[in-house]
Structure 1
Amino acid sequence: MWVEWEAPATTPAHPLPVILVHGGGGQGTDWMITPDGRPGWAPNLVDNGFEVYVVDRPGHGRSPNHPQVLGRPGAPFPAEAASSLFAPSDAADTHTRWPWGRSLSDPEMVALRASTGHLLADLSESQCLDGERLASLLDLVGPAILITHSAGAPSGWLAADLRPDLVAGILAVEPIGPPFAGPPGLAPLRYGLTAAPLRTDPPLPVTELPARVGEYCVSGLRGTPVRVVTGGASPAADGARAIAAHLEATGADTDHLHLPDEGIDGNGHGLIFESNSRELAALATEWLTTVTQRTPSTGSRTPLSIASNTGKDSL
């Protein structure tokens, strides 16, 4: 897994670093720059005083796909699917934070599509690998807050399952859902939040999980601060809202921020790079700061830069 690191020029203002995990067929550049060329959430958070790690999940971006290692690739993310998810034509009146064209030939849509690839064919195995690599990164950097987007969310839930003491909180932007189903075209989230195995307390067979929600906790997320963020014009908001309810029912310290409830209208699934992305990064910073304030101090720490040419091979 490739990892890129950036920090403020002076001592970070916050004691915990942030790890940014991109969505489905995307890559770490989703956090670096917007489709129209503005700074993305990663530089925004650095400007706000955070040490930031941006990952390319295995098989995506700068983490090249080796079929002998990662398994068979799935089908590419169709251009039409990207358009309907990020800039649906029937939502133009309400989806005002995507101020650009919605045609597949418009430059912003071309830029967005250029960064997309494919998921691995075995979704469960892919999520396991993502979670394991994030856990390895946490072993190196210590306690951190995760920010995930869309289909990158399961890697965050699994990292917390593997390293509950090192995940201080999770900000899940439009996480993939709904529980036990997931979006059309993908394998179901059999464990509620993930397609990959997730520990519960008490341990239960996966077949019993849907009927017994509220009777068990997701072990690695018990008491973990989690914020789910959804946009008012997103076709994925209902699934993400159901994920927030499931998190609360299974033991996470959850709150759901639906942006219209804060007076912020017009955002879609790609809210991390839409026209008000900097404003939303500032809103994220407010929540991240509350998490750092409730986390016991670990003392001084030396930031670990692994953005060298050996970094992508180290995890």
Structure 2
Amino acid sequence: MEDNNAFGDVRNSNYELTDFGGMFLTSAPHFCDGRTYPGLSGYVQWFKPVKPRPISVTLIHGGGGQGSEFLTTPDGRPGWVHDFLRAGFTVFVLDRPGHGRNSWNSEVLGPHTPYPDYETLYPRFVEPKASSLWSEAINHNQWPDHDPVAGDRFMASQGVMATNLVSAQKHVEVIAPQLFEITGDTILVSHSAGGPCGWALAAMGGPRVKAVAAVEPLGYPGLEHPLGVFENGLCVSQFSGLHDPYQRPIAFVTGQATWMRGANLRASKYLQEQNYNVTHFLLEEYGIWGNGHMLISEKNSSDIAKLIISWLDKEVGSTL
């Protein structure tokens, strides 16, 4: 694969593609007040290497984010898409309904949250040490602040989200059948508020979902979140899918400096107590230090992806 841009070490990716492209995942048109609108839709982008493994990887972004966060980091380094391609996986990148390439139409998707601002997101994602909103924030040192506009690029990627987590879950459940027709057998890698969506997709996909890597996923049983109460285990609402979303190898991945540590510990313990196959990676225990919540964007993001890939080789390697 040749690349003549100036984005870090992307030219050392050491893989070739046989195909890349994308497709909208659509539903029936929506009728309102005499007008016809496109129905609820998502978008999936794919990258297919030469001699791929038989199981793909599907990347699911968080709350107000989008799939592009997995392509390139805010300071221009190759994102997780490249790490998984180097490991031989076909990679699918999902823009959930109303995010990324899918514009938010309130007539179809319902109301959305306010547009994100620097004052809200910077203390949690970019400069947690400066704001010290939680005790672990003092350990944060992995944001790519060597690039003075990395924070601006991160903010440019952020958009609105549903005003409740029930809607966010139902949105991905609508597009799930089309998604799995494209991905085939796959491993779900979710981030943040994409975590509950990942469990909902696993319940829809059943045997097609071979493993789930939940990266700092939102939620634990009983959590009273501003966007909904977690009344269905690690989700707020009953699943539309008929399969057990936890009946497969599961990894939780949690940074040293994030506000998610306590929540992730409670979530992983909940599944472990039910004897599910769960591994919880507290990154500092594996020599990966200083990460905040935006693991996929920080300076050592590739090290985190490699840890997940190593776990996959161990847990589902016989089928890879």
User: What interval of TM-score do these two structures reach, taking the shorter chain for normalisation?
Assistant: 0.7 to 0.9
Counterpart in 1 of 2:191?
Answer: 149
Deviations 1:87-145 (A, max 9, x none): 3123675111124179xxx5111111110011112320221111332343113332110
**Superposed structure 1 runs of 4+ greater than 6 Å apart:** none
Counterpart in 2 of 1:100?
Answer: 145
Alignment of 1:1-315 (within 5 A): 1-8=42-49, 10-12=50-52, 14-87=53-126, 88=128, 89=130, 90=132, 93-100=138-145, 106-181=148-223, 183=225, 185-198=226-239, 220-295=244-319
> What one-letter code is carried by the residue in structure 1 that aligns with 2:260?
A
Distance 1:237 1:78, change over 3 A: farther
> What one-letter code is carried by the residue in structure 1 that aligns with 2:47?
E
Deviations 1:169-202 (A, max 9, x none): 100000002332155x3222221211221389xx
Structure 1 contact 5–52 (Cα < 8 Å) conserved: yes
Distance 1:61 1:40, change over 3 A: same
Structure 2 contact 164–227 (Cα < 8 Å) conserved: no
Counterpart in 2 of 1:311?
Answer: none
Task: Tell me how large the CA RMSD over aligned residues is.
Answer: 2.3
Structure 1 contact 132–159 (Cα < 8 Å) conserved: no
Give the distance between the partners of 1:168 and 1:53, measured in 2 at CA: 15
Gaps of 5+ in 2: 1-41
> What one-letter code is carried by the residue in structure 2 that aligns with 1:270?
M
Give the distance between the partners of 1:68 and 1:137, measured in 2 at CA: 23
> What one-letter code is carried by the residue in structure 1 that aligns with 2:166?
S
> What one-letter code is carried by the residue in structure 2 that aligns with 1:82?
L
Gaps of 5+ in 1: 201-217, 298-315
Query: Normalising to structure 2: TM-score of the pair?
Result: 0.79
Give the distance between the partners of 1:138 and 1:291, measured in 2 at CA: 21
What SS does the corresponding residue of 1:169 show, helix, strand or coil?
strand
Aligned length: 273
The percentage of counterpart residues that share the same residue type is: 34
Q: Does 163-172 or 89-98 show the bigger shift?
A: 89-98
